[in-house]
A and B are shown apart, each in its own frame.
Chain A
């Protein structure tokens, strides 16, 4: 901090954006910051954002890396290990990276292989070796989690500006219910609707209940949630535990299994595969574009600043 402040021409923090298995919604949510997009690119030195730019530098140290998506292939695992090694701060963005995402809704059932066969039959895949979806922190240390499906742009700005200044980030710990109260929404549970607001992390401004629709839990579990009493409440309203668990798992994946296994009657989780100490292959997220970028200078301002 002190060091940064002492330099008038402080080096901008180097930032990378990476995507693994998901729908690209969290990276797109960042591209949806039209009014701020040019500012973001000015405030930090974006070294890799494949979705937005073909200029990629994937062999250097980063101050902050933002990761979207869950890990579902051996290539991704290697790439993840490589990014972790190069990054001072690693931030998981979106419910896929934080909890495994919708694709992890059956985590713990142990039926992944069977399901894979159902979808792809006997095809031999040469591209990569796939496996059950797991969140990023099953494999490497994650410094911050920004949940949401997708993330909210204001939580992202908050995190980016704080981190860029060398400060820490603390996101909401209260559930969607609190936001509902502030928005003066009528409680949907009183209307016998299966709303997950009481156990879901806030930060979306209670988007769905504000539209008269029950929360489906896309922000994942709230730190301060009293799951036991919520489940009792729902059972009182004649929702079956099976139904409740199914909904909780759709976005809460690994986190739900981890935190509420006993309460929800969920089987123990399939152990995640740990990254093997193997030579790091060319990461999927890097590649040709990197080479091109280094030979072909952008016409506009050059980003290579000599220290």
Chain B
């Protein structure tokens, strides 16, 4: 069969609008592009000249799925710029809300967006009649994530409760306790996702070695917020040197800039976190990780789905630990006021789909420079590369039946957020 072009106009079951084009020349694969159809929002220019609190509310609107990761990164970067030191209770609350987002986002991706691929359905709703228990388990876990975000952030999407210097309101002791027990009781539901994925054969047509990158929490703990960045070649960087890691370039077929590390594409996300920090995982999640991990994890992006499923279990174990610590802080701290009105700050936070960087410069109480590097923008090159390998292997073997679906599965395994990917551009000066 001779192919000229495979075109996936619109990727389904991902966030935002993008497609894939695979071109052939004289029967040979020539070009693979992930096309971004997302309309421009120019939020970076809307941020210009606004006060820091408005900019936090604005930049969390870059993406609804990672809204709290964006908010967390923005708050940390702003607080560095304004020299604010927040009390431990604030940090614990932020980590708790972050757990909520990881649980929600991963459950959505694993159960509702990725599993239908493996099982051959167009959506989780189509899957429901035959896999009702699994879909319901996934929805229960997802629901808990949503509620945990509502508890801590005031809403599950664009919650305004986390602000620069602290929180507007703290949950009560009894609310926290209820969420603690609920988290524990949902671990078996989350484990279901791990079990299903573990027993499915992972396709291998896209395998290729990759470079991984993620934040490196202190004290040998597993976690998602840190000032150090770890690369799979053994190198380490400071978060504020993020431009050394993510050197960007422009490509003509996309509204999003692209990042490479030392001229090579790289992977960020749950799979990167597990490949780099997996041995730090404890508890039930640690057991699952050790049971599932194998060498394919360093070259097969499909394992990102498994990593997300296990990370959901970890988040359900971590939330009760955070709640226990929170309960030792009786007083609700007041919002800490900034000690200056100018400065610069950058911060890294692990969003569900990978490392997210926010950088702000503030002068006379106004934001004059915004730079945001999103996970999807970073891994687009790696994703393109895996899709290329997949297209080549599948066409070489003449295995072109349903090739669009097979390529889409690779893209979906990355859990891309295409609307966030268009917002990694910089603007300087008013």
- Chain A positions within 8 Å of B, measured between CB atoms, are 19-26, 28-29, 31-32, 34-35, 37-38, 41, 46, 49-56, 69-73, 75-76, 101-103, 105-106, 112, 115-116, 118-121, 123-128, 130, 133, 149-150, 204, 207-208, 210-213, 216, 218, 246-247, 250, 282, 284-289, 292-293, 296, 298-301
Segment at the A interface, from B154-162, B272-280, B290-298, B312-320 = B154-162
Q: A116-B40, A211-B154, A246-B50 in contact; A123/B252 too (CB < 8 A)?
A: yes
Q: A28-B64, A216-B160 in contact; A21/B39 too (CB < 8 A)?
A: yes
* Chain A CB within 8 A of B54 CB: yes
Q: Which of B152-181 contact A (CB under 8 A)?
A: 154-158, 160-161, 163, 167-169
* Chain A CB within 8 A of B385 CB: no
Interface string of B61-102 (1 = CB under 8 A from A): 111110100000000000000000000000000000000000
**Max chain A C-beta neighbours (<10 A), residue from B35, B57, B62, B64:** B64
Q: A25-B67, A119-B427, A288-B7 in contact; A50/B12 too (CB < 8 A)?
A: yes
- Chain B positions within 8 Å of A, measured between CB atoms, are 7-10, 12-17, 19, 35-46, 50, 54, 57-58, 61-65, 67, 104, 108, 112-113, 116, 119-130, 135, 139-140, 142-143, 146, 154-158, 160-161, 163, 167-169, 250, 252-255, 402, 404-405, 408, 419, 425, 427
Assembly CA distance A210 to B160 (angstroms): 11
Assembly CA distance A46 to B124 (angstroms): 13
- CB–CB A299/B40 < 8 A: no
- CB–CB A34/B139 < 8 A: yes
Assembly CA distance A21 to B250 (angstroms): 21
Q: A149-B158, A250-B58 in contact; A127/B35 too (CB < 8 A)?
A: yes
Q: A24-B64, A115-B42 in contact; A284/B10 too (CB < 8 A)?
A: yes
CB-CB < 8 A to B17: which residues of A?
Answer: 19, 50, 284-285
- CB–CB B43/A300 < 8 A: no
Of B45, B124, B168, which one neighbours A119 at CB under 8 angstroms? Answer: B45
Of A23, A41, A73, A285, which one neighbours B125 at CB under 8 angstroms? Answer: A41
- CB–CB B126/A21 < 8 A: no
B46 nearest CB across to chain A (Å) = 5
Q: In this complex, what residue of A is CB-closest to B104?
A: A32
- CB–CB A103/B252 < 8 A: no
- CB–CB B39/A25 < 8 A: no
Q: A25-B157, A106-B45, A123-B250 in contact; A128/B140 too (CB < 8 A)?
A: no
Assembly CA distance A287 to B37 (angstroms): 12
CB-CB < 8 A to B156: which residues of A?
Answer: 29, 32
Q: List 20 A-B contacts (CB under 8 A).
A: A19-B17, A25-B64, A28-B157, A35-B139, A51-B14, A52-B113, A54-B123, A72-B40, A101-B61, A102-B46, A125-B255, A127-B253, A128-B37, A150-B64, A150-B157, A208-B160, A284-B17, A288-B10, A292-B404, A298-B122
Of A21, A46, A208, which one neighbours B41 at CB under 8 angstroms? Answer: A21
CB-CB < 8 A to B157: which residues of A?
Answer: 25, 28-29, 32, 150
CB-CB < 8 A to A286: which residues of B?
Answer: 9-10
Count of A-B contacts with CB under 8 A? 230
Q: A126-B252, A284-B10 in contact; A54/B122 too (CB < 8 A)?
A: yes
CB-CB < 8 A to B9: which residues of A?
Answer: 282, 284, 286-289
- CB–CB B15/A247 < 8 A: no
Assembly CA distance A32 to B300 (angstroms): 30
**Extra A-B contacts (17), CB below 8 Å, given A23-B67, A116-B42, A127-B36:** A22-B41, A24-B16, A24-B65, A29-B157, A31-B112, A32-B157, A35-B139, A50-B12, A52-B13, A55-B126, A69-B39, A101-B61, A127-B35, A130-B255, A211-B167, A287-B9, A288-B9
Q: In this complex, what residue of A is CB-closest to B143?
A: A34
CB-CB < 8 A to B408: which residues of A?
Answer: 54
- CB–CB A289/B10 < 8 A: yes
A28 nearest CB across to chain B (Å) = 5
CB-CB < 8 A to A24: which residues of B?
Answer: 15-16, 63-65, 419
- CB–CB A299/B10 < 8 A: no
CB-CB < 8 A to B46: which residues of A?
Answer: 102-103, 105-106, 250
CB-CB < 8 A to B42: which residues of A?
Answer: 103, 112, 115-116, 119
CB-CB < 8 A to A210: which residues of B?
Answer: 154, 169
**Max chain B C-beta neighbours (<10 A), residue from A35, A53, A69, A128:** A53
Q: In this complex, what residue of B is CB-closest to A215?
A: B160
CB-CB < 8 A to B404: which residues of A?
Answer: 288, 292
Assembly CA distance A133 to B405 (angstroms): 33
- CB–CB B126/A299 < 8 A: yes
Q: In this complex, what residue of A is CB-closest to B10?
A: A287
The 10 closest A-B CB pairs, nearest first, are A287-B9, A25-B64, A53-B123, A21-B39, A72-B39, A54-B12, A55-B122, A287-B10, A211-B168, A213-B168
- CB–CB A102/B50 < 8 A: no
Q: In this complex, what residue of A is CB-closest to B250?
A: A123
Assembly CA distance A292 to B112 (angstroms): 19
Assembly CA distance A212 to B44 (angstroms): 28
CB-CB < 8 A to B19: which residues of A?
Answer: 287-288
CB-CB < 8 A to B146: which residues of A?
Answer: 32, 34
